[in-house]
Structure 1
Amino acid sequence: MAGRGYTIFDTGIGRCGIAWGSFGIVGVQLPEAREIETRGRMLRQYPEARETRPPLNVEIAIEGIVAMLRGEPCDLTDVTLDMSGIHAFNARVYAFARTIPRGETRTYGEVAAALRASGAAHSVAQAIARNPFMIIVPCHRVLEAGSYTDKISPSGGAISKRRLLSIEGAHTISSKTLFDVLLPVAPPRPQG
């Protein structure tokens, strides 16, 4: 692959974008309210990328993202990510997030403890907020303790963590804190 490329593709939640370079995927963009906004964000984030047909390895990643957003189990751990320019701690957070099973969640503190950086929950939250690899690095599975938050990274578009977790069949945070036991988080209410 010479240079960077990107494409926009259909999913069950709208038109997503994906960008790649010589060393793998450089970013995934979830849908904005309108496709033109998704495309605009892709162009701002990857101004050197040209819209083109994706190579086979990117096609495989797109198929996995589409399947996952349809609620189908899909393993994206073999998708190659270009981590050049990613801070080393953030890369560790992303590697750990990729191990969290579908439909399960972890808190920022649990991720920090798993990385043997127990005082770094805030740094984990910052890394998750900067995740350029939406869905492939399932940052929606990492939540604030005691919260079923709707916050998502800037690459998240108009889609919330709550919606992504409901697609996966998750209902609440997998690990309980004292706050969760005293005031349980209600599952999302069906819309319609």
Structure 2
Amino acid sequence: MGERAYTVFDTVVGRCAIAWGVAGIVGVQLAEAREIETRRHLLRRFPDARETRPTPEIEAAIDGLKALLRGEPADLSDVALDMADVLPFARRAYQLVRTIPRGETLTFADIASRLGASGAVLSVGQALAKNPFALLVPCHRVLPARGETSGTLACGGIVSRYRLLSIEGALTGRGPTLLDALSFAPPRSTG
């Protein structure tokens, strides 16, 4: 398995964490309400990881994550992920989800259909619920159903799907605003 390492880093949404091994990143933990909770969640998933300084490749991934969370374009599709512990169906789903452009969304059914498994909508949802690569596999861009933006994400901490989609401009079609980036919940429906 090799030795794993991790680091905690500042973002506009709080202190996030990332863990990696020789073959690439094994997990990302988005900010919890307190840094100790972020660390606890990451170390529960990767108890063998030791805190250390990031390699240049990991530092580049961190810079991309920070940019994305600031609402800036960031292409994270070439960041190396270690999917050795990921089941084959989930691996295929994650690879497909990584191709969804910033500001766009698909549904669980869309992903299942594109994987050639249109009856596997539930399996897609289960795979995304276990996504260890928050933002690197942008599962926030995959909606349970068209227009359904509520809910928290796997490894999402306090960051909601709605908040991430707002930051990326997917909900407004006009790009993010400061109000969108600071919003924690969707606006109430008026109709």
TM normalised by structure 1 equals 0.87
> 1:33-182 maps to which residues of 2 (within 5 A)?
33-171=33-171
**Superposition deviation, residue 147 in structure 1:** 4.1
Deviation at 1:127, TM superposition (A): 0.6
Structure 1: distance between partners of 2:8 and 2:34: 12
Correspondence for 2:18: 18
Q: Residue by residue, what CA displacement relative to the aligned partner does 1:8-47 show, whole Å, maximum 9, x if unpaired? A: 0011111100000010000000001111110111111111
- Alpha-carbon contact 2:21-2:82 (below 8 Å) kept: yes
Letter in 2 for 1:132: P
The answer to whether the 8 A contact 2:151-2:161 is kept is yes
Distance 1:63 1:172 in 2: 25
Shift of 1:85: 1.0
Given residue 54 of structure 2, which amino acid in structure 1 is its aligned partner? P
Deviations 1:106-163 (A, max 9, x none): 0000000011101011100001100000001000000111442322333111110000
Contact preservation (8 Å) 2:153, 2:159: no
Query: Which contiguous aligned blocks of 4+ residues in structure 1 show a shift greater than 6 angstroms?
Result: none
**Letter of the structure 2 residue corresponding to residue 156 of structure 1:** G
Match of 1:189 in 2: 187
Number of positions where the alignment pairs a residue of Structure 1 with one of Structure 2: 176
Q: Could you tell me the TM-score, scaled by structure 2's length?
A: 0.88
Equivalent residue number for residue 182 of structure 1: none
More displaced stretch, 146-155 vs 131-140: 146-155
CA-based RMSD of the aligned residues comes to 1.8
Alignment gaps of 5+ in structure 1: 174-186
2:112 and 2:118 in contact (8 A); partners too: yes
Distance in structure 2 (CA, Å) of the matches to 1:129 and 1:172: 25
Indicate the larger mover: 163-172 or 105-114. 163-172
**Distance across 2 between alignment mates of 1:9 and 1:150:** 26
Contact 1:148 1:172 in 2 (8 A): no
Q: What runs of 5+ residues in structure 2 fail to find an aligned partner?
A: 174-184
Separation in structure 2 between the aligned mates of residue 27 and residue 4 of structure 1, nearest angstrom: 10
